[in-house]
Structure 1
Amino acid sequence: MFKNCITPSAILLSCCLAANLSVNAQSAGRQYSLGFYQGSSEDRSYHSSQRDYMVQPTFDLPQGDTTRKQSWLYRKLFREHLLEVKDEDYTFYASILPDLMIGHSNDNGTVWLNTRGVIAGGQIGKNLTFRAEFYENQAKLPAYLDAYGRATNIVPGQGEWKAYNNGKAFDFAYSSALINYKAGKHFDFQLGYDKNFIGDGYRSMLLSDVGFNYPFLKVIANIGRVQYTTMWAQFIDMRYPKASYDNGYRKKWGVFNYLDWNVSKKFSVGLFETVIWQDSDSTGKRGFDASYLNPIVFLRPVEFSVGSPDNALMGINLKFTPTANSTVYGQFILDEFKFKEVTAGNGWWGNKFGGQIGFRSNNIFKVQHLNFLTEVNAARPYTYSQRTTLNNYSHYNQALAHPLGANFVEWVNIADYQYKRLFLRGQITLAKYGLDSAGHNYGKDINESYTKRAEEYGNKIGQGLKTTLTNVQGTAAFLLNPKYNLRLEATVTARQESNNVWKNKELIFQVGLRSSFRQIYYDF
């Protein structure tokens, strides 16, 4: 592993001493399926690199003639939640969330999605807010997603499935919940069964919301220009056999520290560290390790003190806002390395790292609500992998960072536009990566043990079966109700994945009635 590295905890005290004791609530908003957030602000106490999943996005929509009294049915269909209660001491809302799609794939015939969901949330007093969601789903997916689901036993980002319609479709259900308590001016405590995201881009190389929900406890401290977050979480490993019928799937734990410092109005630095450890091994149950309980402890020395059995990663998130509407951002993740091997340039397998660089802008060409993002992500072979999946950087058969795993380079371009209730969105994703072949592990699948690596030296991005991916998607939607993102939507996706052995091409067209603010990633 790496040694003598600066951690977020290591500079916490010095940053706090330099900070002013003032704080404003973060309101970056939850990413949703149409559009994205710029996350730029000249407020030095605003931190854009952590999405606030308690805050639902708001839409800038025409208000119409408010002098005329609107009927109950009109308000519930187009303006409000199905149930809304407001009192001096509490608020409550609830809605039904339909997500109904039908379409055609040239490779899998008729495809469809039948989701019935509900959402409920509110606030008690001034300090406690809560949100809960539940989704019951049946789906016949496009061919590439169907193949992915059968290979991994999961629907991307939505958990395990069981056979439906004589095995031709998937049946799956999942839920999420989040409670946030604001303890005074400087602290937030969150208890959740949900996802998290660290970064200012579309992807994250540090911690992404691409995977399935998981339980976590998070403490957020805001002190002037500094925001410091510690999170403890539990993850599921599906690769190892179940310990027993009573205990279910094998589990692993993670602790995350993230310090975000707004150095100036235009520049911010975020320092990230995490340790993943297995819940049990052949010698017995380890469970939650109290060594990682202190929220400001230096994780790497702690990991070393318990015998270095765990998986430690470190990273950095950078953001520069040259103008009020534009942001240049980047990330670097360091999994494992030896300095002499890096400088030798021999492609040692243990030089495991990745990175991101991107640019995003709002209101480009001075057109209101016209947004653009371009982003490059890459990871060397074997990054995020470990000796075993019991402590690698994954959860429920999906990566905790980038959906492509490792051994890849990707270029993502997204543009969207809103005019009143009409939304348009286009995305082009290009990627190159190396797949395993002839029984050799070339480092893309992070759930494969790095002890089965193909080569000790000469490793580089794209090694193995060199494969290219092109994914082009266009979406048009008409918003019906902004409170829970109820909309009519049509989507066209053209996808091609090819190498010297095979070529898969799929054209997918879908229309439907959709709702909610879920972020589901199918673009990989």
Structure 2
Amino acid sequence: MKRFLLSLTASLFLSTFCFAQSAYIDFDRDYYHLIDRYEILGGNFNSSFHTGYKPYRRDDVADFLETIDEQYMSKVDAFNINFLKNDNWEFVEEETDFSKKPLWKTIYKKPSDFYFHRDKVVDVHVNPVLYFRGGMDAEQDFMNFKNSRGIAIRGSVDRKVGFYTYLSTNEVIFPSWIDAYAKHNGAVPGEGFWKTYGDNGYSYFSARGYVTVQVSKHISAQMGHDRNFIGEGYRSMVLSDFSNPYMFFKLNTRVWKLQFTNTWAQLNADVFLDGIGRPTDGRYPKKFFSLHRLGLNLGKKFNIGVFESVMANKADWTYFNPIIFYRWVEHQLGTPDKVMLGTDFKWNVANSMQFYGQFALDEFVFGEFFGQDGKNSSRNKHGLQVGYKYINVFNVSNLDLQLEYNQARPYTYQEKEEYQAYTNYRTPLTHPRGANFREMIGIIRYQPLPKLSFNFTGVYHYYGGDPDEETNMGGDLLKNRLEGTDGLGLYGHTIGQGVENRMIIGNLRASYMLRHNLFLDAGHSYRKRTAQNLDSPEVSQYSQLSLRLNIAREDFNY
């Protein structure tokens, strides 16, 4: 009997790890737009995964690609689908492309892999990562550039444990406004720690890595350093990829029409800076972030998600319960931490359109939210997003439109307690602007030829700035919510308060795919900012040319 129980226990344990495992696809907006495009054109949600929590697993994307009906697709769409299949070929059932002339019969046997080895035990894919950019900013009297070299390795062991690692070394001189942003925050957006390079540049390592395990048929786990993104938009008001990678553990459960995702993360609460604003050595303080999101497909065209998150300046075991209501837990602890609640949705319409949105509630006082006496209270803090996608605009093949509106009230994502603001390594976890803003975004994507694509992104910002370092008008997440607000009162707080700023950004880019995942980009950016404290508008004109391999292009749309 004892032997039988031991055998049964072993069988149950082994059975939980008998499912194939996959790495995730790096969150690249151009790449992910293709996946969204074909789901919208298909009319119904794909049966492989929910799109509300990114990044996606490679095996899930491969399963979705197998379901696409290519009969009515254009030549360009057929090229894109073939590109996606080749990029995830190890999970595609049909035969994918082989290179016509692999080097030494080993290098680039597959168009997507510099080198791969695949047997019953090990599956490994190795790729170089390169990004060479040169550009001129009218506000600078020197050339700016990016020089990135690195490697990306993904694969699995025994088809049960997946892995991914990425490492690159980078020397960069940014356009003027990105340079100013990095100096203000003491961090390179999306990367964090940096050292000086020459007189005007930044030098930094970029590293990400994780392991994945399929716990059961419906539950998967991921642990490592990377970024996450919630929502369907260009921005996210819940959790975005803007800050640098952080350590997290994620459980993803998919049952029926439900997807339940739990994320627990350790973040950098602050950074020690030297006298000229550079990160310096020391044990940086930490904070802990937990998030639950439950997504539900209502029918085949409407998805709704609800989330709750907590930001705490120290870890507490009670937040590690994956199925408890965080607000109740926080009350039991004496209300010491920052809890946010909210929802997101998407609605696919007419095989060509998608409506989407988010609402993130930071703090809520019923009488002040709905009552006239409490109108525009500083305690009513929330972020809002509404968006629209139109595929094949006016039946023009491969012409896609996206419109998006975002806003965050003053003091949203800030907090009165130390190390509880919605930041990681001194950069926002959601929108680059922080809070106290309104934003409108328009994106036109056009792919007239299989290897050639154009992208125009227009952005309008209206936001309030602080008149000085001591005053807090509610937009800078690095400031304490209660400090710098003397004399401002509880009521009368509106979006744009403080020093009124208006900004227009136009970014035009053309990309040509020279070979699989090797792109030549040419682009021009126009940026104009007017403000109450400026005698004349600040205008920046920036042109660039870049060559990149196995890496997403940079966006400077903030």
State the TM-score, normalized to the length of structure 2.
0.82
The correspondence for 1:387, drawn from 387, 402, 416, is 416
Q: CA deviation at 1:347?
A: 1.2
Structure 1 residues 211-235: Cα deviation after superposition (integer angstroms, max 9, x where no partner): 1100000011111100101111000
Structure 1 counterpart SS, 2:308: strand
1:303 equivalent in structure 2: 330
Pick closer, same or farther for the CA change 1:488–1:44 going to 2, 3 Å.
closer
Q: Distance in 2 between matches of 1:435 and 1:44?
A: 45
Structure 1 residues 6-59: Cα deviation after superposition (integer angstroms, max 9, x where no partner): xxxxxxxxxxxxxxxxx9999995431535242544345631101235439894
The correspondence for 2:465, drawn from 421, 432, 435, is 435
1:155-234 aligned at under 5 Å gives the runs 155-165=188-198, 167-234=199-266
Q: CA deviation at 1:512?
A: 1.7
The correspondence for 2:525, drawn from 487, 493, 504, is 493
2:444 equivalent in structure 1: 415
1:67-106 aligned at under 5 Å gives the runs 69-72=100-103, 76=108, 79-106=111-138
Pick closer, same or farther for the CA change 1:45–1:95 going to 2, 3 Å.
closer
Structure 1 residues 95-150: Cα deviation after superposition (integer angstroms, max 9, x where no partner): 11110001111011311111111101112233322211111111111111111112
Q: CA deviation at 1:169?
A: 1.0
Whether contact under 8 Å (2:308, 2:340) holds in the other structure is yes
Whether contact under 8 Å (1:24, 1:45) holds in the other structure is no
Whether contact under 8 Å (2:23, 2:164) holds in the other structure is no
Q: CA deviation at 1:241?
A: 7.9
The correspondence for 1:473, drawn from 499, 507, 523, is 507
State the TM-score, normalized to the length of structure 1.
0.87
1:146 aligns with 2:142: no
Whether contact under 8 Å (2:213, 2:222) holds in the other structure is yes
Amino acid at match of 1:507: Q
2:428 equivalent in structure 1: 399
2:357 equivalent in structure 1: 330
Greater mean deviation of Cα atoms: 499-508 or 224-233? 499-508
Structure 1 counterpart SS, 2:497: coil
Q: Distance in 1 between matches of 2:399 and 2:243?
A: 29
Unaligned runs of 5+ in 1: 1-22, 280-287
Q: Distance in 2 between matches of 1:292 and 1:369?
A: 45
Whether contact under 8 Å (2:355, 2:387) holds in the other structure is yes
The correspondence for 1:463, drawn from 484, 489, 497, is 497
Greater mean deviation of Cα atoms: 417-426 or 192-201? 417-426
Name the one with the larger strand percent: 1
Whether contact under 8 Å (1:137, 1:173) holds in the other structure is yes
Q: CA deviation at 1:479?
A: 1.1
Whether contact under 8 Å (2:459, 2:557) holds in the other structure is yes
2:81 equivalent in structure 1: 60
Structure 1 residues 302-361: Cα deviation after superposition (integer angstroms, max 9, x where no partner): 011111110000010011111233210111010002101112232110100111000113
Greater mean deviation of Cα atoms: 325-334 or 46-55? 46-55
Q: Distance in 2 between matches of 1:115 and 1:68?
A: 26
What percentage of residue pairs aligned between the two structures are identical?
A: 28
Q: CA deviation at 1:442?
A: 0.8
Q: CA deviation at 1:378?
A: 0.4
Q: Distance in 2 between matches of 1:146 and 1:67?
A: 43
Q: Distance in 2 between matches of 1:445 and 1:32?
A: 27
Name the one with the larger helix percent: 2
Greater mean deviation of Cα atoms: 217-226 or 513-522? 513-522
Pick closer, same or farther for the CA change 1:157–1:307 going to 2, 3 Å.
same
The correspondence for 1:371, drawn from 393, 400, 404, is 400
Whether contact under 8 Å (2:131, 2:551) holds in the other structure is no
Whether contact under 8 Å (2:130, 2:551) holds in the other structure is no
Note the aligned Cα RMSD (angstroms).
2.8
The correspondence for 1:507, drawn from 533, 541, 558, is 541
Whether contact under 8 Å (1:219, 1:230) holds in the other structure is yes
Unaligned runs of 5+ in 2: 1-18, 63-79, 87-96, 275-279
Structure 1 counterpart SS, 2:545: strand
2:6 equivalent in structure 1: none
Q: Distance in 2 between matches of 1:253 and 1:142?
A: 33
2:166 equivalent in structure 1: 133
Amino acid at match of 1:145: I
Higher relative contact order (CA 8 A, sep 6+): 1
Q: Distance in 2 between matches of 1:115 and 1:24?
A: 33
Q: CA deviation at 1:385?
A: 0.3
Structure 2 counterpart SS, 1:384: coil
Whether contact under 8 Å (1:45, 1:224) holds in the other structure is no
Amino acid at match of 2:370: T
1:448 aligns with 2:469: no
